[in-house]
Structure 1
Amino acid sequence: MVLNWIDQAPRRVLALISVACVAMLAFGMYLQHVVGLEPCPMCIVQRYALIGIAIFTGLASARGQRGWWMTFALLAVLTAGFGAFVAARQSWLQWYPPEVATCGRDFYGMIENYPISRAIPMIFRGSGDCTAIDWTFLGGSIANWSFICFVGFGLVLLLLVVRALKVGNRGGSGYSMA
């Protein structure tokens, strides 16, 4: 049933992923501005990955040309993979915190005061902020749930592209972009 829906309405699937990313970003803003949780550098990088996926899937769903939406869907797959990597790294830091965890600079402080070649390793090294678990749902931290969402988005997008390629290779006209 799900595969039929993906085959019949890929633009709707892409639009749904875009809306889901925007909803996740809105929830992150709620946690930050209403609940009072401060995002760590890795959380901010994950937000940028969500923004990237939302933009790519939104653009992919905007036009019905097969090459257009497949290109943006592939970019969204890569962005989802990057987001999953960052979320997995943060989850690892939460499960196995380093012996010495310091609350280093915030994300923007790193970017403003260091060259990008030095700031990126600092972000992925994590800080005391990145190891803290301030909020949980069903036993999982925000990083754990982000990882699950990124992997889910990536798998659905990859399935969408692979199935479109199979249809195209069989000599079909491609998906009907409903």
Structure 2
Amino acid sequence: MRLSYRLVNALLVLATIVGMSFALYLEHVTGLEPCPLCIFQRLGLMAMGFIALIALIHNPASPAFKRVYAFLAGLGMLWSVSVAGRQIWLQHLPADQVPSCGPGLNYLVNVLPLKEVLSEVLTGSGECAKIDWTFLGQPLSVWSFVFFSFLLIVCIWQMLRRNT
């Protein structure tokens, strides 16, 4: 069975909805506050989902357009994979090497230019190294990394395959 280009984009949109629903469930139902790196991971997921939704609706006939959409969706996932990897690295630092907790993301956005906000957030802080939730012995950052990596592989496959 060959998966159509449109069906794969629909599945990517569905994966975005499921991922964001789970993130919002953890935040609003269980009370797990997202750290700045978690929020940046969500942005990559939403970017991928948005591009996949546009590709689903547009359903281009041109293989070049299909590859461009898959490439752009893949960039969103590459962003999320990278940020999740950074968070995993922070969580595995010895306690004395973890950066101190900085101000919250809302404060940074209100006070600093966007370039400095990105720089500040991506360097991480103590709150990003804290492990608040685990499943099967692994923190949420690891599960996010696995989920985003799978979606990145799907985007790369979508970009490189002979589209139908």
Asked if TM exceeds 0.5, the reply is: yes
Q: Which amino acid aligns with 2:131?
A: I
> In the TM superposition, what is the alpha-carbon distance from 1:100 to its structure 2 partner?
4.8
Q: Among 36, 56, 63, which residue is 1:61 paired with?
A: 56
Distance 1:135 1:69 in 2: 38
Q: Is structure 2 residue 109 aligned with structure 1 residue 114?
A: no
C-alpha distance in 2 between matches for 1:29 and 1:43:
11
Q: Which residue of 1 aligns with 2:135?
A: 137
Cα distance in 1 for residues equivalent to 2:159 and 2:70: 7
Aligned equivalent of 1:79, options 76, 79, 85: 76
The TM-score with structure 1 as length reference comes to: 0.84
Instruction: State the shift of 1:79 in Å.
Output: 1.0
Unaligned runs of 5+ in 2: none
1:21 shift after superposition:
1.1
Q: Identical aligned pairs, as a percentage? A: 34
Larger radius of gyration: 1
User: What do the CA deviations read for 1:149-172 (whole angstroms, capped 9, x no partner)?
Assistant: 1111111111121113xxxxxxxx
Question: Structure 1 CA distance, aligned partners of 2:97 and 2:138?
Answer: 22
2:98/2:129 contact within 8 Å kept: no
What is the letter of the counterpart of residue 72 of structure 1?
A: Y
Counterpart in 2 of 1:42? Answer: 37
- How far 1:117 moved relative to its partner? 2.3
Tell me if structure 2 keeps the 8 A contact 1:59–1:69. no
Note if 1:88 corresponds to 2:85. Answer: yes
Query: Aligned residues, how many?
Result: 161
C-alpha contact (below 8 Å) 2:90/2:98 kept by paired residues? no
TM-score normalised by L of structure 2: 0.91
Alignment of 1:3-18 (within 5 A): 4-6=1-3, 9-18=4-13
Per-residue deviation, 1:64: 2.4
CA contact (8 A) 1:90 1:126 kept: yes
Provide Cα deviations, 1:8-58, integer angstroms capped at 9, x if missing partner: x12111111111111111111111111011000000001111110110111
Per-residue deviation at 1:106?
1.4
- For 1:5 and 1:27, locate their aligned partners in 2 and report how far apart those are by CA, in whole Å: 29
- Cα distance in structure 2, aligned partners of 1:72 and 1:129: 35
Tell me by how many angstroms 1:99 deviates.
2.4
Equivalent-residue separation in structure 2 for 1:159 and 1:107 (angstroms): 34
Distance 1:130 1:141 in 2: 12
- Contiguous gaps of at least 5 residues in structure 1: 165-173
The alpha-carbon deviation at position 88 of structure 1 amounts to: 0.2
Give the corresponding residue for 1:168: none
Q: CA RMSD in A?
A: 1.6
